[in-house]
Amino acid sequence: MTNNERSLILFATYAGQPDLSADDRLFAAALERRDFSVRAAVWDDPAVAWQDATAVVIRSTWNYHFHRDAFLEWTERVAAMTALYNEPRVVRWNSHKGYLAELAARGIRVIETIFARPGTRLDFDELTDVVAADELVVKPAVSASAHETRRFTLRDRAEGQAHLDRLLSARDVMVQPHVTALAERGELSLLFAGGQFSHAVRRRSALVDAGTMPKSALADASFVAREFGSHVLATATALVGTTPNELLYARVDLAETAPDEYLLLELELIEPSLFLTHAPGAAEHFASALVSF
């Protein structure tokens, strides 16, 4: 991407937080050091002239899951006017967590997941037998920021069944075992810029009580973890018909179930927090990746 008279880059946000996040201010500053101008723009604001930007970067569009169809249409419309990152086919594929089943079918070690369509009847007690777990996590298959994600023990079966039934009345649902390692070690999130590993953070799971560990902190990622993350990206992009180096950003969220043994929890390719405030120099990685496109 060359810097010319159309040097504006728009970071797509949402009405609930229309300005740049702390992370994205670092990202923007790195781009501004490269003589680009960066502004925030609410993704569903009809007054935004997306065509005036050299590139649009999806960042804090943290309500997209409430308006998935409109959001996906917006990505196609913007991509027809200018460069959009990540691109629409990536966003569409990643916007429904059924992608986990596709990755599992290609040999990626993924957290066991049962998917169900609206109107399906699932029995909470039977599910605990199927996934062989004492605690289940129930959430929508189109979701972000842990929206409607809840964890239930066997003692909570009535409440768990009610949550299942309510979600299944209107949307696709996914059920997973609660991974006990998350309470001990949290999630390991690997951040990639242009397909290249940038940094890692250790995060407290949203399903674990606050106070057991810091919400997030910079972490080391072993060679094995980085290789696993790179393999996830290579497999995912092959499914979509692109390559890892065509992804401006990616976050691979892992559970470490044993020393250097990992399980994929989620692959975030739409609007992930990049945790640049934990590794301020990493903003340069993402700015360089964007400029290289």
Q: What is the mean pLDDT of residues 163-176?
A: 89
The pTM score is 0.93
Tell whether the model's pLDDT for residue 5 goes beyond 60: no
pLDDT at site 180:
81
pLDDT at site 164:
87
Segment of 124-128, 160-164, 182-186 carrying the highest mean pLDDT = 160-164
The architecture of the domain spanning 114-177 is 2-Layer Sandwich (3.30)
d(CA 56, CA 105): 33
pLDDT at site 135:
85
Give CA separation, 107 vs 102, 236, 243, in Å.
9, 11, 18
Structure tokens that stand for 65 in this block: 């899951």
Least confident of 56-60, 171-175, 261-265, 283-287: 171-175
Domain range annotation of the chain: 8-87, 99-108+181-269, 114-177
Structure tokens that stand for 4 in this block: 């010319």
- Kindly state the helix (H) or strand (E) to which residue 240 belongs, with its residue range: helix 223-240
Q: What is the pLDDT of residues 220-237, one digit of tens each?
A: 999 999 999 999 999 999
Neighbouring C-beta atoms of residue 52, cutoff 10 Å: 11
Q: What is the pLDDT of residues 79-110, one digit of tens each?
A: 999 999 999 999 999 999 999 999 999 999 99
CATH assignment, 8-87: 3.40.50
Sheet holding 187-193, edge to edge: 216-219, 196-203, 187-193, 249-258, 261-268
User: How would DSSP label each residue in 19-48?
Assistant: SPPHHHHHHHHHHHTTT-EEEEEETT-TT-
Q: Which residue from 18, 42, 38, 23 is spatially nearest to 291, judged by alpha carbons?
A: 38
Beta bridge partners of residue 114, listed in sequence order:
175
Any idea which fold 99-108+181-269 has?
Answer: D-amino Acid Aminotransferase; Chain A, domain 1 (3.30.470)
Top pLDDT among 115 and 128 is at: 115
pLDDT at site 238:
98
Q: What is the mean pLDDT of residues 263-268?
A: 96
